[in-house]
Chain A
Amino acid sequence: MKNQDYTVFHGGVHPTDGSDKALSKDKPIVEYTPKVVEISMAQTGPSLCELLVKEGDHVDRGQLIGSPANFFAVKLHASVSGTVKEIKKIQNGAKEVPVCVIEADEEQPPVEDLPYRHQLADLSPYTKEQLISLMEEGGITGMGGAGFPTHVKYKPNKPIEYVLINAAECEPYLTCDHRMMLEYSWEFLNGVNAMVKAGGAKKGYICMEDNKQDVADHLNSLLAGCDVPFEVKVLPTKYPQGGERQLILAVTGREIPAGGLPADAGCIVSNVQSAKAMGDMVFAGIPSITRCITVTGLVKDPKNFLVPLGTPIRELVALAGGIAEKNNKVILGGPMTGPCIGSNMTGDDITQCVTKVNGGLLVLENDHIVESPCIRCGGCALACPAGLSPFKIDHAYRAGNLALCEALHATECIACGCCSYTWPAKRELTYYNTKARDAVKAMIRERGKK
Chain B
Amino acid sequence: MAELHINPNLRTPKTTQKIMLDVCIALLPALIYSIVIFGVNSLLLTAVSVVTCMAAEGIWQLIRKEQLTVGDLSAAVTGILIAFNMSSTTPVWVVMIADVFAIIVVKQVFGGIGSNVVNPALMGRLFTMLVYPTQMMSYAAPGAVDTVASPTVLSAVKSGSEVAYSVWDMIIGNIPGALGETSVLFLLIGFLYLAYKKEVNVLAAVVYIAVVGAVSGILNGGNFAASFFGGGLFLGGLFMLTDYVFVSKKGKVLYALVAAVITILVRQYSPYPEGVCFGILIANCLAYFVDKIDKKPHVYGIQ
Contacts and interface: CB of A to CB of B under 8 A. Distances in A.
Given A373-B112, A424-B18, A424-B19, A417 B300 contact: no
B245 A425 contact: no
B247 interface: yes
A6 B241 CA distance: 35
A338 B9 contact: yes
B302 A258 contact: yes
Nearest to A425: B16
B143 interface: no
B19 A381 contact: no
A374 interface: yes
Nearest to A3: B298
B64 interface: no
Interface string A367-388: 1010011111110011001111
A422 B69 contact: no
A391 B291 CA distance: 14
A342 interface: yes
Interface in B229-245: 243-245
B292 interface: no
Contacts of B6: 340, 369, 420, 428, 430-431
Contact of A256 (B1, B246, B299, B301): B301
Contacts of B115: 373
B300 to A, nearest CB: 5
Contacts of B246: 378
Nearest to A265: B301
A369 B11 contact: yes
A99 interface: no
A314 to B, nearest CB: 19
Contacts of A374: 114
Contacts of A426: 11, 15
A130 interface: no
A376 B12 contact: no
Contacts of A362: 9
A292 interface: no
Interface in B1-32: 1, 3-12, 14-16, 18-19
A230 interface: no
Contacts of A1: 303
Interface stretch (A110-118, A135-143, A209-217, A328-336): A328-336
A332 B297 CA distance: 34
B245 A421 contact: no
B40 interface: no
A320 B143 CA distance: 69
B11 A337 contact: no
A15 interface: yes
Contacts of A16: 10
A336 B10 contact: yes
Contacts of B36: none
B270 interface: no
B4 A342 contact: yes
Given A257-B301, A329-B9, A381 B16 contact: no
B114 A373 contact: yes
Contacts of A367: 5, 11
Nearest to A392: B245
A259 B69 CA distance: 41
B5 A340 contact: yes
B254 to A, nearest CB: 15
A387 B299 CA distance: 4
A375 B18 CA distance: 13
Contacts of B247: 378, 381-382, 389
Contacts of A257: 301, 303
Interface string A417-437: 110111111101011000000
A336 B16 contact: no
Contacts of A339: 4, 7
Interface string B36-75: 0000000000000000000000000000000101001010
A245 B8 contact: no
A374 B113 CA distance: 7
A343 B300 contact: no
Interface string B215-239: 0000000000000000000000000
Nearest to B13: A424
Contact of B297 (A364, A381, A421, A424): A381
A144 to B, nearest CB: 16
A271 B3 CA distance: 32
B8 A343 contact: no
B299 A409 contact: yes
Nearest to A246: B300
A377 to B, nearest CB: 7
B11 A409 contact: no
Contacts of A428: 1, 6
A107 to B, nearest CB: 41
A424 B69 CA distance: 14
Contacts of A15: 8, 10, 12
Given A373-B69, A376-B243, A335 B301 contact: no
A219 interface: no
B300 A386 contact: yes
A10 B297 contact: yes
B9 A255 contact: no
Nearest to B243: A376
Which residue of A16, A338, A412, A420 has the most chain B CB atoms within 10 A of its CB atom? A420
Contacts of A331: 9
Interface string B288-300: 0000000001111
Contacts of B18: 424
A376 B244 contact: yes
A128 to B, nearest CB: 28
B261 to A, nearest CB: 23
Contacts of A329: 5, 9
Given A373-B113, A375-B113, A424 B14 contact: yes
Given A374-B114, A375-B113, A376-B244, A385 B300 contact: yes
A-B pairs with lowest CB-CB distance, top 4: A417-B8, A378-B245, A258-B301, A340-B5
Interface of A: 1, 9-10, 13, 15-16, 172, 245, 249, 255-260, 329, 331, 335-343, 362, 364, 367, 369, 372-378, 381-382, 385-389, 391, 409, 412, 415, 417-418, 420-426, 428, 430-431
7 contacts: A172-B10, A335-B9, A369-B11, A373-B113, A381-B245, A418-B8, A426-B15
